[in-house]
Amino acid sequence: MFTVLSATGDLAGPNLYIDTILQNVTCILKNDGEEFLSIPDHVVGSVQLTEGQISGLDTLRRKGEARMHSDADGATIEAKLVLEQVRLCYDYTAKVLFAKNQGKISVCAGEIETFIRVHQTSDLNKSPVLQEFVIRQLRGLRANMSGLGPVSWLVNRLQRTLLNIFSIRIQDLLQEKVHGLIQTELNKFSLADISMRDLMT
């Protein structure tokens, strides 16, 4: 039977396991996460987007109860996760006819809901595997630009493109960066009879 035990030996369930993994991952993103924050430059028509930075990845947390299913092949934990107030910011330069404008542009999501699935085979010598980590919903998306001057009409033209860029960049970051961080933490402990003391060391 696959369980996660507390320091007293009582069954704590999959919530403790997922929360411990996420706590370690968000600590890395908060304290050592500069490499996860830079975004490549992007060109949209006559607008150049540079010095891209993202923030809010360290808000990753569990939403609701995690669920664990066991069978002859092992155990699987599934959970909803959320990130809050994730923001993508760029410096921009826009050239329209003889006008040139510079300013700041940002896209923010109030909440990003993701889904995680972790599988542990019955061979406890093997580490759990992150089978799925995907975005399910993006809520409260909004875009803002400063320094527009005579090219304020660019907001409407660029808004849909900016929101698409945001969605793509977030998905890439989760799959290429955060996915790897989670798997690294999963490699440290299996789902089988792990005490709280084991989890925290």
For residues 16 and 199, is the Cβ–Cβ distance under 8 A? yes
Within 141-193, residue ranges assigned H as helices are: 154-173, 179-186
Within 66-106, residue ranges assigned H as helices are: none
- Which parts of the chain register pLDDT below 50? 1-11, 193, 195-201
Distance from C-alpha of 57 to C-alpha of 66, rounded to nearest angstrom: 20
Q: For 41-77, write each residue's pLDDT tens digit.
A: 888 777 888 988 888 888 999 999 999 888 788 889 9
pLDDT on residue 47: 81
pLDDT on residue 151: 58
Q: What are the two backbone dihedrals, phi and then psi, of residue 190, each rounded to the nearest 5 degrees?
A: -85, 180
pLDDT on residue 93: 86
pLDDT on residue 4: 47
Q: pTM value? A: 0.78
CATH of 14-192, one of 3.90.25.10, 3.15.10.50, 3.40.1390.10, 3.40.50.720: 3.15.10.50
168: burial class by Cβ within 10 Å (0-12, 13-18, 19+)? exposed
Instruction: End-to-end CA distance of the chain: give it in Å, rounded.
Output: 23
